């Protein structure tokens, strides 16, 4: 199983029945096709759609029906369309239960950097800054290291921040971390990964949850996901 598939399969477990969910641009949009049929949710896109469905079958795309990442999507029965002002009123008014966003860097304090790399051309800020302050829960998904095998989980973010102390949960291809008043806590280790590997590839300081500490004498066997 490749790293993205690992992340997506774990991240979809965060979506619960009855939620209004915003999926960020990039990898988070892939969750739309992974939500089990028995889970009824409304996916919201800040460009003005509540009720996003799966990606369309090739040949049936509607060029006027797109998500915030300019990808063609479908709409579920009962889906609604509205302007950006209405969409951001939903977000800023606290009506989004969960936002699952991509990340470039996350700090041990729960800071998030995901909107720009200095010197790189970007189309705009997007809606991430509103989402991290308006959604009730923020889950960030990203690969644990960059292409140079450097940790993307930092003591302090080096890229421009999207928000400070806004991340509730971070899911990577190696592990799952929660951010609490006690700091950053390692909650889960992905299948096939050892605790030593997580420690080695994480720049940030973190504590280890009790159920993982019980397995520290057998680090070659990764604990099962919970």
DSSP 40-95: --EEEETTTEEEE-SPPPTT---TT-B-TTS-B--EEEEEEE--HHHHHHHHHTT-
pTM, rounded to two decimals? 0.92
CB atoms within 10 A of CB 148: 5
Flag whether pLDDT at 226 surpasses 60: no
Tens digits of residue pLDDT in 138-176 = 999 999 999 999 999 999 999 999 999 999 999 999 999
User: Does pLDDT of 223 surpass 80?
Assistant: no
Q: What is the pLDDT of residues 52-96, one digit of tens each?
A: 998 999 999 999 999 988 899 999 999 999 999 999 999 999 999
- Give me the active site residues, please: 46
Predicted confidence band of residue 212 (pLDDT cuts 50, 70, 90):
confident
CA 163 to chain centre: 14
| CATH H-level, domain 3-218: superfamily | Glutaconate Coenzyme A-transferase (3.40.1080.10)
Q: What is the pLDDT of residue 216?
A: 54
């Amino acid at each position: 199983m490749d790293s993205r598939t690992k992340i997506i399969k774990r991240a979809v477990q965060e979506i619960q029945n009855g939620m209004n969910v915003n999926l960020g641009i990039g990898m988070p949009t892939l969750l739309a096709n992974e939500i089990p049929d028995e889970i009824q949710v409304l996916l919201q896109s800040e460009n003005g759609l509540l009720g996003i469905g799966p990606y369309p079958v090739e040949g049936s795309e509607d060029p006027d029906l797109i998500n915030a990442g300019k990808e063609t999507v479908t709409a579920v029965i009962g889906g609604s369309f509205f302007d950006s002002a209405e969409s951001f009123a939903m977000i800023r008014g606290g009506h989004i239960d969960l936002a699952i966003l991509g990340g470039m860097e996350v700090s041990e304090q729960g800071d998030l950097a995901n909107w720009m790399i200095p010197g790189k051309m970007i189309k705009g800020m997007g809606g991430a800054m509103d989402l991290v302050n308006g959604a009730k829960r923020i889950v960030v998904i990203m690969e644990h290291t960059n292409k140079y095998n450097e940790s993307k989980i930092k003591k302090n973010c080096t890229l421009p921040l999207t928000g400070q102390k806004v991340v509730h949960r971070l899911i990577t291809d190696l592990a799952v971390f929660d951010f609490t008043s006690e700091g950053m806590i390692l909650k889960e280790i992905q299948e096939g990964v050892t605790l030593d590997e997580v420690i080695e590839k994480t720049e940030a300081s973190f504590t280890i949850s009790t159920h993982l500490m019980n397995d520290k004498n057998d680090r070659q066997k990764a604990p099962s996901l919970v």
